[in-house]
Structure formats: C-alpha cells, structure tokens
Amino acid sequence: MSGAAPLSGAASAPDADALPALTVEGLEVSVRTEAGLRPLVSGLSFTLARGETLAIAGESGSGKSITSLAIMGLLPPPAVRITGGRIKLGRTELTDLPEGRMRAIRGDRVAMIFQEPMTSLNPVLTIGTQLAEAIRAHETVSKAEARARALEALRSVRLSQPERRLDQYPHELSGGMRQRVMIAMALALRPEVLIADEPTTALDVTVQREVLDLLRDLQRELGTAIILITHDMGVVAEMADRVIVMRDGRMVEEGRATQIFTEPRADYTRALLAAVPRMGAGRGRPPVEAEPIARLSDLQVRFDLKGGLLGRTQARVHAVEHVSFDIRRGETFALVGESGCGKSTIAKAMVGLVPHEGRIEIGGQTLGTLDAAGRKALRRRVQIVFQDPMAALDPRMRIGDLIAEPLVIHGIGTPEERRARVGDLLTRVGLSPAQMERYPHEFSGGQRQRICIARALALRPELIIADESVSALDVSVQARVLDLLAALKREFGIALLFISHDMAVVENVSDRVAVMYLGQIVEMGTRDQVFGNPQHPYTRRLIEAVPVPDPLHQRPPAPRLAGEIPSPVHPVGAGPERVRLADVGAGHLVAG
Amino acid sequence: MPAYLLRRLFQSALILLGVSLVTFILLYVLPADPVRQIAGRSATPQVVENIRRQLGLDQPFLVQYGRYLWGLLQGDFGRSYLQKTDVATLIAARLPATLQLMGGAILCELVLGLTMGIVAALRRGRALDQGLMIVSFVAVSAPQFVVSLLLLYVFAVKLGWFPIGGYGTLSHLVLPAVTLGILGSGWYSRMMRSSMIDVLRQDYIRTARAKGLTRGRVILRHALPNAILPIVAMIGIDIGIFMGGIVVVESVFGWPGIGQLAWQAIQRIDIPIIMGVTMVSACAIVLGNLLADLVTPFIDPRIKLK
C-alpha cells in the first residue's frame, strides 16, 4: 500500500495495459432526505484507461462532482452515500473498503485537485508542511527527505522560487500559484489516477492556459490517468481523449472527444454545445452611433494602506489610473480584463460606492458635484446587476418586495401601481407575476439573476452596469440571460456596461470594448477592431488563452509565461507608469 | 510591531483613565457616606466633619479625583479608610492567591470546554452532541454560589476528597477553580463546537482528507489551529467575566484573594480599596486582551499587527 514502488501497477502484470486504471460499474449515489433516498447519481458506468484523460462534462446538479467524491471515498457522511454499483481502482475494489485502507489509497494511488485554490490549502500551515505531510502520510521518510521531495514537486510544477515557497503560507501566493501547489501535492506520490474537479474554473484565463499546459505535460511525463470534471466545453476540447456528458445524475452521452464535438448524438449535448459562446459569433454588427449617456474622463481610484505608529498612509493601491471612455445610449460597452485589473472598481465608482478622482458624467450631470438629493436622483438612471444573484437578494424578502423596493425608496407610485409594475417586470424577464409571493431560495440561479435584472429595470434606468452578471451561471442559463439582456436593451434603448473576464462572451455581446490591465486601459475600440485586429500584446494573449470548444483547433504556440501580474500597490508619491493611448485608425486606441 | 505595541499601550492607558473616572464618579454619587462608616453611629457632627476634612472628602469632586489620579501616577493607590494600611500593600498581599485561582480556573475551563466542544462537533447531531450541549447549557446558567455549595457538599463534606476551604496546597485550589471554570467551560464548549463545525466544512479539510491523512492528524493539525482562533480572543475578554465570579467564589471557599478584599471594602464603603481593586482588575483585562491579540499572529500567519 505504500508508494515505495509508485509505478508498480503499470509494469507488474502482463495484461497491465488491458487493465483499466479505474472501472466504475452501475454507480448509484443517493442522499437521505426527509422524503427518503433521493438519487444524485444513477447507473453510471465507465472505464478509465491508463494515461488517458476522460472529461466528465455537465452543468450544476449533473452529479459530476459527487461522482469524483464517491471515487475518493469523501462523500459527506452520513447523508450522502453509495447505494449501489462498484468502483475498482486497478484490481482494488473501493466500494466496501474500510476507512483505514481507503485512507492509505487516498493521495497515494488516487489523488484529487479542487476548484477553489484560494480555500483548498490550510491558511495556518506553510506550503512545505502541507506538501511534506502528504508524502509522509504514505511513505516512511525522514522530515528532511520529505522536504527535499516537496521541493522537487514544486520544481516539477514550474513554480518560481520553489525554495522560498516552502516556507511561505498560502495567502502569500496568488490563485494560480496555489493551484500549482495543489497539483504538486496531488502528483508528488505519482498516483495512478488524478481527479481534477474544475481545476481552472476559478482562475483567470491566462493562468488557466498555463495550468492546463502544465497538467498535460505532467500527464505525458508520469502517465497518470486523469478524470477532468468541468462545465467548460472549451477546456474539454483542449484536454480530453474521451468525454462523458452528464445530466441530472445520469450519463447522457459518451464518446471520443472529436466525436462528441463534431457529431453529438444526444439532444442535450447538442444544446450544451450550442449554448457555448464562441469567438467570432458577434462579428460584423455595426457600432451604435448615439449621444453618450456616461462619460468618464481621467478617472482615478486609489485606496490608502495605513500603518505605523500614527496610522499614516504608507502606500496606495492604484486600482484605477487615468481611465477615460464614454458609453453611448443604447450600446453595450464591455470592460474586460483579469482579476484585480480595476474593472469592478470602475463600476463601483460610477454608482458612487467608492470615492474617485477625475470626472464621471452621467446624462450630463457630474457625479462629484451633486448634493444628496441629486445623487439619489442620479441613481434612478444607473442600476447595477452583480455576479452572485443569491448574495444580491435578501433571503428574508419576497421577490415582489425585492423588485418593488427601488420604487418604494424613490417614492414612485401607489402600492397598487407598484404591484402592477412588478408583475409587468416579472413577465418581461420571463417569470410569472404569480411568483411574486415567493422567496429567493425557491428559484434557480438563472431565475434569481432574472429577478436581479427585473429589480434593476424597475426604475427604467438609462444605463445598466452588469458586473460579471452571467459568470456564475451554467452555459445554457448564461445564454438565455444574455438573450434577455439583449432583448431588453433593444426594447428600452438601455445602454449596458458589460464587465467580464470572459473574452468569448464579450466578443458575442459587445458593441465596443476596452481591455484593462493593472488599472489602465491598454486597448479600446469597436468589437471588430479589438477582436479582429488586436494590437496590444496583452489583448492578444487574452484572446489566445481562451479555450476553443473544438478538439481539432490548433492553438498557435505561445511563449510559456509563468510570471505573475505585477502589484498595483505603490509607495506614497510613486505610481505606475502611465500608458498613452494612440489612435491606430478609426478610433481604435492602443497603448504604445 | 513595536509601533503596534506602543499604540496599543497608549490606548490601554486611555481605557484605564476612563475606568478610573467612571468608577470615581459612581463612588462619589453613592448615597452612602464612608465617613459615617468610619466614625460610627454615635459620633458627633464635629468628629464627622474632622474625619471628612482629614480624608479630603470635603473637597470638590475634581480636586478629589485629581489628587487620586496624581497619586496613581506615582504608584500610590491611597490608604484604606478602615484598615489604615496602604491599598497597594493590601492588594499585593492578596494578588498571588487570586492569580493562582484564575490560572487554575482558565486551565479548567479550557480543558473542559474545548474537549466538550471538539467532541460535540465531531459527533454533531448525535446523542452525545445533544447531551454535551445540555451540560454546557446547565453550566452557563447555574449560579456560581449554587455550584460552589454543591461541589463543597459532594466533594468536601460527603466524599472528603478536598478540604472545605482555605488556601495553600493544590488540593485547596481544585474546588474553587472548578467552580469558576464550569461557567466558562459552558461558553467555550459552545463556541468551540460552532467554530469547529465551521472549520470542518472548509475546503482545506477536504484537501487534507484527500491527501490520505489520518483522522487524528486532520483534526489536530488542520482543524484545531483554525478553530481555536476565535477562542483565543475570547480568553482575553474572559478575565473581566471572572472578576464577578471571584468575589463569590473567594467568599464561599475562604480564599484570601482580592475578591474577598473587594467584598469587605464594598460593605464598608472603603473607597480607596474599591478603587484599587477596580483599577487592578481593569489592568488585568486590558493586558489579557493585549496578550490575546499578540498571540494570534503565531496561530494565524495571515494576521499582521500593524
């Protein structure tokens, strides 16, 4: 059971190649509820060959994560458990294994990496300790030797300054670096099977690219079989040899990756693929010519970092630096960039949630010069829809009251009129007025986002800020919410500031685009200019990093960048180098 | 770090100043007259006035407070009205006993409370969990004079395991320390339980299990240090809660600490002693909080003292 001969399984038996690394037969997983056992996964069977990558694709609730936890023996007891079927790792039957023996297999013969690198490492233990204990849990080696092996593991995942990382704590590392540590930890003992549960979902697109490349290289080197669990068909196309599509706990379709993408058999697979936003789908729409509804000039947002005996400002976070753009009536203006680039801070500044320098003009009125009544009036004209619809709705209020609240605050209408308006809004976003008396938890994620949109529409705003509003939704739901936004925009002539990290979605929905990097705009122009003829290297890197949902797509070889984005924190008096935008033709602005 | 410490000490001094002012005002407006207590019922008005002048109690409030504060800055807590001794000497003689009692009580409440909390969290929703939570509920709600008398009756009178009262050996310490600790253990077990349940749900616990670590290591090395963080801050605050209990427990067990001193002083309105004990207790609370805050960065590296 120890990993003294980690690769023994591969060479021992003559039929080693024929023996699958993992066999799942008729797996049933159920949760115990008050109404009895409810199946989460039913009748799932598949095999995983050695060295193969099998993707399990599906939307939330499809049972894909539950399947991975069942293989690891980590189902949350006592409510969720395996109620039927068998799981075999090589020749070892896992289903009835006592916890003691399962523990010895976990991490040694089958390892797992998780979606959230930010929370998957223990914050109070150093990286070195967490790596070394994984090794020492399965092999009797000295502490010094375990540390040496940990260092080697960090080198193999191409982490910069590996010696220093050993003594650092997780919070000192970025998300991408932490996910590398997770991979190093999972592969340190050369497991036969690696389960990667949405390994890149929480990462920026360029970091996702690096992590996917790394996983593929390591797999080639070690011959590990990988089960890749993901909702992202682009990632599936890039990584998988074979694909299983799951829905509601059942397998809908299984096949080679090329077959799934070129000739999907199941209707659900076809629908899923159709919903995936693809680059190029938005090409050729003429830009909107109209008066600007919002105009930002030389906007700056900085946050002070205080310290010392007297609590003086010692450094500043330069979140937004000299940003200027305008949003025309009825157009969709997209701000795109990776986490920490300042795009959400701009949204907050525009609705007055953070103090700013520079000028924000909305409908001809300057934000900084207004009194309280003026600011309140201005808020009627700009509404915002956030990323997480569950967090944005008060769980103790009925949705009718939630949608009517902006009307109440601004003293619009009588209760009867408001009720009629709410009913009308619910119909507009594809829900029914009869649902007014229900609470947010009774709705699905996509429906909740529709409720948030209805609330934003209640005041008939001229500008809606959608801050990553579709990022947390499943692709099929995302497609429907995007359609809704487009329809509302046409109908009411609302302008949309669309903030997103997803290049494909932005390409599909926007009229004009600004690319942000470290608080500054590095490229801005119409969609066709920015996506059809990207000029700035960062824009190109973002576009090239997007996984393409086509297994035959050949990605141009890109330089391998393991670097980290520089910090936006500068000492008082200093600041980032200011980029100058130059017009390269027809209003296409690029940083020089 | 030195800047942090200096700032915190400055804040602590301000807090102590506030405490002294509020306590002084309360004692000043008290309807009972300390001079009457000293002089006795039969004293003539002339005698009463003399004593009042001697003690400076005829002066306006601000003068009295100013004098007291000036003395305090020089380390002078004043003289007891009735015992005719320096308050500093009285407190110094009794402080070790109280510190010993508090140390024992903190140890007792932590051992009892944390164990109960961890066990309950690991057996969440089962009979043992429910049983332990009933126990903790009883522990926080039982009045300390009842608990102390109960423990005295059972373990000292009936079983004879521990002495009935007094001070000196370890066996003298057990019953008063347990009495004080029981209240705290109820609080700690509830806090530890919810903190532990919260931590056990975290992603990094799942990671630790996925690595194939033993259950013991997952709980002790990964869950416990994270779960104990809110408890550490609580210990600092706890010293304040202790002071109330110490007055009761020291009286019941005849423990010669500052609680008894305070109790006697309150009965006789011996203002310098009341003030002295209050200031020493406030000092202990402020220092306890400071200490708790200084310890947290060693448990959680994300916390930086600035």
State the Cα–Cα distance between residues A380 and A52, nearest whole angstrom: 55
Range 80-109 of B in CB contact (< 8 A) with A: none
DSSP B39-54: H-TT--HHHHHHHHHH
Does A134 lie at the interface with B, CB-CB under 8 angstroms? yes
CA separation (Å) from A300 to A18, A70, A581, B141? 62, 50, 16, 56
Number of compact structural domains in chain A: 2
Number of Cβ within 10 Å of residue B180's Cβ equals 27
Q: Which of 5-24 (B) contact A at CB < 8 A?
A: 6-7
Taking the Cβ of residue A305 and every Cβ of chain B, the question of whether any pair is shorter than 8 Å is answered with: no
Rounded to whole angstroms, what are the CA distances from A149 to A132, A145, A178, A187, B211? Answer: 8, 6, 18, 11, 15
Residue A168 has pLDDT above 50, yes or no: yes
Taking an 8 Å cut-off on Cβ atoms, the answer to whether B300 and A123 are in contact is yes
Q: How many CB pairs under 8 A join A and B?
A: 84
Report the SS3 class of residue A280: coil
H helical segments located in A73-142 = 99-105, 127-136
- List the domain range (segments joined by +) for residue B233: 95-265
Residue reference for tokens 């540590």: A181
Q: State pLDDT tens for residues B36-81.
A: 777 777 888 888 888 888 888 888 888 889 988 998 888 888 888 8
Distance between CA atoms of A329 and B223, rounded to whole angstroms? 54
Whether pLDDT at A557 is above 70:
no
Q: Which helix (H) or strand (E) holds A399?
A: helix A399-409
Q: What is the pLDDT of residues A255-277, one digit of tens each?
A: 999 999 999 999 999 988 888 88
pLDDT of residue B115: 93
To the nearest whole angstrom, how far is the Cα of A310 from the nearest Cα of chain B?
8
Whether A218 and A346 share a structural domain: no
Considering the domain boundaries, does residue A159 fall inside one? yes
In the predicted model, what is the mean pLDDT of residues A551-557? 73
Checking if the pLDDT of A320 tops 60, the result is yes
Domain boundary among A222, A248, A274: A274
Clarify whether residues A299 and A269 are in a common domain: no
Most confident stretch, A131-135, A352-356, A424-428: A131-135
Could you tell me if B201 lies within 8 Å of chain A, comparing CB atoms? no
Contact A62, A247 (CB under 8 A): yes
Residue of A91, A50, A56 whose CA lies nearest to A70:
A56
State yes or no: pLDDT of A86 exceeds 50. yes
Residue A265 and residue A301 share a domain: no
My answer on whether A365 and A490 are in the same domain is yes
User: Is the same domain home to A162 and A306?
Assistant: no
| A243 and A309 within one domain | no
Contact A308 B3 (CB under 8 A): yes
* B300 contact residues in A (CB cutoff 8 A): 123-124
pLDDT digits (tens, 9 = 90+) for B253-272: 888 888 888 888 888 888 88
**What value of ipTM does the predicted structure carry?**
0.79
Shortest CB distance from B212 goes to which of A107, A120, A182?
A107
pLDDT at B28: 85
Given a contact cutoff of 8 angstroms between Cβ atoms, the answer to whether B249 and B259 are in contact is yes
Residue A243 CA to residue B56 CA, distance in Å, equals 92
Q: Is the dihedral of CA B237, B243, B248, B254 positive or negative?
A: positive
Instruction: Write out pLDDT tens, residues A383-404.
Output: 999 888 888 899 899 999 999 9
**B207 vs A114: CB contact, 8 Å cut-off?**
yes
Chain A residues in contact with B3 by the CB 8 A cut-off are 307-309
Q: Which residues pair with residue A556 across a beta bridge? A: none
A189, A322: one domain:
no
A235 lies in the same domain as A299: no
CB contact, 8 Å: A120 with chain B? yes
Q: What is the mean pLDDT of chain A?
A: 86
Which CATH number goes with the domain that contains B111?
Answer: 1.10.3720.10
Q: Is residue A225 one of the residues assigned to a domain? A: yes
Please indicate, yes or no, if residue A451 is contained in any of the structural domains.
no
Residue A389 lies in a domain: no
DSSP reduced 3-state for A120: coil
Cβ separation of A119 and B226 shorter than 8 Å?
no
pLDDT at B71: 87
Identify the pLDDT of residue A9.
41
A-proximal residues of B, 224-243, CB under 8 Å: 225-226
- Are A258 and A297 members of one domain? no
Q: How many CB atoms lie within 10 A of CB B171?
A: 11
Cβ-defined contact of A120 to B299 (cutoff 8 Å): no
Q: What is the CATH number of the domain that holds A75?
A: 3.40.50.300
Q: Answer with the one of A242, A274, A306 that is the final residue of a domain.
A: A274
pLDDT of residue B208: 93
User: Contacts of residue A74 in chain B, CB cutoff 8 Å?
Assistant: 206, 209-210
In DSSP terms, B126 is beta-bridged to: none
Check if A124 contacts B (Cβ < 8 Å): yes
β-bridge partners, A294:
A327, A362
A171 close contact with B: CB closer than 8 A: yes
- What residue numbers bound the domain in which A474 lies? 292-381+459-545+570-591
Residue B171 scores a pLDDT above 50:
yes
| B75 located within any domain | no
Flag whether A108 is in a domain: yes
Is there a domain that residue A312 lies in? yes
Same domain, A374 and A234: no
Same domain, A93 and A242: yes
Q: Is residue A508 part of a domain?
A: yes
Is B56 in the A-facing interface, judged by CB distances under 8 Å?
no
Q: Does A106 touch chain B (CB under 8 A)?
A: yes
Do A231 and A319 lie in a common domain? Answer: no
Give the count of domains, chain B: 1
Two tokens, residue A295: 């105009």
